[in-house]
Structure 1
Amino acid sequence: MKWYALRAVAILGVAAATITGCDKSKDEASTQPPATPASSAAASSESVPVRSSRALAAEKVKDAVEQRISAVEGKFGSGVNSPCSTSSPQMFTDKCRAAADATSSAAGLALREIDGRAGFATLSSTARRLQVAVRQYEQLGCANGPTAADTRHACLAPAAIIAQGLDDLRDGANLGLAGK
């Protein structure tokens, strides 16, 4: 039993010496440079920010899309303040059609800006979904004040997507910065 305890102590001693870098060499000066802490390397990299071309492209896309979104939002509003909101009395008017066209234009700009670039899956799918909703809104004749109940009901889904579209495009552009 005593022998196992001595053996364990010896193994632990060798392991500790190996881990800490101790050896049985003479007290000679080391030819290797002293280890530097990782924090000094991090501090030097923080002083000179390096930005990849992908990050710069993502910012360019976000800025272009955000500028268009802000302009459309300033003119028509978004979400519950949009003329296409399902609670808006303007949902079946030319005011919503104009907002839909402007939102579709912003979606088209987003698609042109991200064409051929990786990392914009959310923005791409959002923009395409918006363009489909605008086409449905137009094909149903929603801006012409339809009187048939089934047509008015069919207009609700695309109008809701259009009303929320600017916020969704903005979210997609922001996620593009993270490569999503």
Structure 2
Amino acid sequence: MKEFTHPGSGKKELVDLNQLIPSTVTVARNEWKYVAEVKTNLCPDLPELLCNPVEINQVLLNLIINASHAIAEKQESTGDREKGCIEITTVQDDDWIQLTVSDTGMGIPEPIRERIFEPFYTTKAVGQGSGQGLAIAHAVVSQGHGGSISSAPRESGGTTFSIRLPLLTAAKPASDDPIAVKQ
């Protein structure tokens, strides 16, 4: 919780992404507790990530809140009150960490999916959404951290947001080739 209450200087630091996730899930609990279960599948040996933890928490918080709203919208439209699922996953993929947030909500239709990262674009009623959440998330991930964020429909319904963040690579040698020594 201190990541939210004591944001620090806003500078990037090495953090264990897996340690940020539980506090963000807790902060968002009032949004999802009646409509969904939250499951985590976190890579146990995930390397530390150079990032601004406050900004990454805000991105994750936005995705969890959006997922809970999508599930609530589906429940309302179908009349089905069975809890949906929000799943948060971390994996290492070579020099990248991938964070995914999947939900069993309404899903995002293709024409809308193309615009979701545009500033001020929202499908919510007036007063219920500013259209800034995903635009800010996109800016934080791509411009602030050199990563990418995308969305894709799930086969079983709902949406998966994938965030790819680069690992610190400055400690790696410029080349994997051994230095040739003349004899």
TM-score (norm 1): 0.26
Q: Larger Cα Rg: Structure 1 or Structure 2?
A: 1
Q: Which has the higher helix share?
A: 1
Q: Which has the higher strand share?
A: 2
